[in-house]
Amino acid sequence: MGTSIYLPLWLVVVLVVLSAAAVVQFFLLPGVRWYFRRKMNRVIDEVNARFNIEIPEFKLTRRQVLIDRLFHDEKVQAAVARYCEEQHVPRSVVMARVDAYAREIVPSFNAYAYFRWGYRIAKYYARWLYRVRLGYTDGEALLAIPPRSSVVFVMNHRSNMDYLLVAFLAAEHTALSYAVGEWARIWPLQSLIRSLGAYFVRRNSGDPLYRVVLQRYVQMATEGGVPQAVYPEGGLSADGKLRAPKLGLLDYMLKSFNSDSGRDLIFIPVGINYDRVLEDRTLLRKLDTTLPRRGFFGATATVVSFFLHNVWLMLRGAWYRYGYACVNFGKPISIREYVTRHGIDFRSMDEAARHRAVTAVGGVLMDAIRDVIPVLPVSLVATLFVRAAPDTGFAEIELKTNAYALARRLEAAGAKVYVPRSDLDYAIGVGLRMLTLRHMVSEREGLYFAVSAQRPLLEYYANAIAPLVDALAA
């Protein structure tokens, strides 16, 4: 008779787990990977056939490959050697930091996530909040961009909605890669943002090693033809004004530009404006140094309160979309043409000369952005109240007459005035109603007055087009 063999229960459990793991690893996972790879390749083929600017190979490269390429980059390794020598730090420690920086910066673009989910979410959310409009665009100039160009969209930064709005409106042309601040480095937002092709930037890092790693990634992405979106201002405008550019990322892109290569560097100026910026009061609060700074819980409470208030308005049937949100795309600016016209080569300049040259380019880009900022109803009407004498009351007909005259003067000067329904009377009415609903303007005895307590908010919206209005008097 045979001898029975008894196995302990724990061993049976281990064997079952190992068997299941083997089945998953060798049979199920390859099938799942194949399924999703096929779907992603189908999406890539679809968008490449539709886009004016194809998704570059660099953007589709596996993330680990890009990390390894950045880790072993010649300039990064040279920076490591210098750092070790100057700081007397073991090379293994420094290399571990470089690896951590590379993993922090490099995105993991997923075409399926971007075009099937990211695009739909951005489209739905933007249209839910606003009447989204693509205003002015130089279609012929955009179509004339050489296919192998590195395209960078440079835009003013009004709201965190900018990311969704521009990504949604530009999705018929390209898949954008954003530079995103540290605020988004929280789970699970971090993974989602990386899958959409964005890369994280420490805005005020004083670590020279980090700056080298970031610089080389930006240069590699630019040389690889990755379409990027950059906010030269560096952050949200707290007072609504267009700010002077911060030149960090711009300098990274320009200092390695080779006009003799087959790939041009094209900047597309983008102007963004809203009838209502979601963060307007929060941004203005930052300017008041007498108010206490809100911590994480204070900011969270503000967001929750805002959400619940809007839900309550919806339940009452009293919720309305936040007016118009408009994006304009200006004439592309070729850096190859720029350096040829000015007879410069960024690569051969010393740091001081290059800084002056990059500053000049930054000025050109900001002027181009300024010229395509949409003039929307709220900004137009707010300008009249801000520039009038204090306590000035306007009859509705007087207000519309003045707004009409200002809009026509701006149009004649080349400004991009968005007129919903092609009806300026309606547009001015929309602006006045928005300001009244938000208690920035009050009506008394048939006259409209600016509410003095809300003047900073009125100025915030007027500041969006202030450079265009100031140019009329120049």
Q: Do residues 327 and 126 lie in contact, with contact meaning Cβ atoms separated by under 8 Å?
A: no
> Whole-angstrom Cα distance, residue 410 to residue 393?
23
pLDDT at residue 36 greater than cutoff 50: no
Mention every residue, 6+ apart, whose C-beta is less than 8 A from residue 15: none
The tokens for 128 are 């839910």
Handedness of CA 257, 343, 232, 331 (dihedral sign): negative
Mean pLDDT for the stretch of residues 112-136: 81
Q: Would the pLDDT of 363 be above 50?
A: yes
Q: Is the pLDDT of residue 44 over 60?
A: no
- For residues 246, 251, 253 and 254, what is the CA-based torsion angle, rounded to 10 degrees? 130
Tell whether the model's pLDDT for residue 340 goes beyond 50: yes
Q: pLDDT for 310-330, tens place per residue?
A: 677 767 776 677 999 999 999
* Tokens 């990274």 belong to residue: 252
SS (HEC) of the chain: CCCCCCCCHHHHHHHHHHHHHHHHHHHHHHHHHHHHHHHHHHHHHHHHHHCCCCCCHHHHCCHHHHHHHHHCCHHHHHHHHHHHHHHCCCHHHHHHHHHHHHHHHCCCCCHHHHHHHHHHHHHHHHHHHCEEEEEEECHHHHHCCCCCCEEEEEECCCCCHHHHHHHHHHCCCCCCEEEECHHHCCCCHHHHHHHCCCEECCCCCCCHHHHHHHHHHHHHHHHCCCCEEECCCCCCCCCCCCCCCCCHHHHHHHHCCCCCCCCCEEEEEEEEEECCCCCHHHHHHHHCCCCCCCCHHHHHHHHHHHHHHHHHHHHCCCCCCCCEEEEEECCCEEHHHHHHHHCCCHHHCCHHHHHHHHHHHHHHHHHHHHHCCCECHHHHHHHHHHHCCCCCCEEHHHHHHHHHHHHHHHHHCCCCECCHHHCHHHHHHHHHHHHHHCCCEEEECCEEEECHHHHHHHHHHHHCCHHHHHHHHC
- Which band of pLDDT confidence, cut at 50, 70 and 90, is reported for residue 112? low
What is the spatial distance between Cα 286 and Cα 457, in angstroms, rounded to a whole number? 13
Residue 22 confidence (pLDDT): 64
Mean pLDDT of the chain: 83
| Arithmetic mean of pLDDT, 282-290 | 83
CB atoms under 10 Å from CB of 474, counted, come to 5
pLDDT at residue 24 tops 70: no
How far apart (Å, rounded) are the C-alpha atoms in residues 282 and 302? 9
Beta pairing partners, 324: 131
Find out whether 52 and 143 touch, Cβ atoms under 8 Å.
yes
Q: Residue 447: phi, psi to the nearest 5? A: -115, 150
Do residues 334 and 327 lie in contact, with contact meaning Cβ atoms separated by under 8 Å? no
Q: Which residue has the higher pLDDT, 119 or 382?
A: 382
**Amino acid identity, residue 330?**
G
Range of weakest confidence among 130-139, 168-177, 215-224, 289-298 = 289-298
Q: Give pLDDT, residue 119.
A: 74
> Which of 194, 268, 213 shows the shortest CA–CA distance to 97?
213
Is the pLDDT at 366 greater than 70, yes or no? yes
What does the block give as tokens for 110?
A: 């997923």
Full-model pTM = 0.84
Residue 280 predicted with pLDDT over 70: yes
Say what the pLDDT of residue 316 is: 73
Strands 199-200 and 177-180, how do they pair?
A: parallel
User: Which residues, listed in sequence order, are joined to residue 326 by a DSSP beta bridge?
Assistant: 133, 273
**Residue bearing the bigger pLDDT, 390 or 455:** 455
Reference 250, options 219, 226, 211, 273; nearest CA is 219
Listed ranges 33-47, 197-211, 260-274; the one with the highest mean pLDDT: 260-274
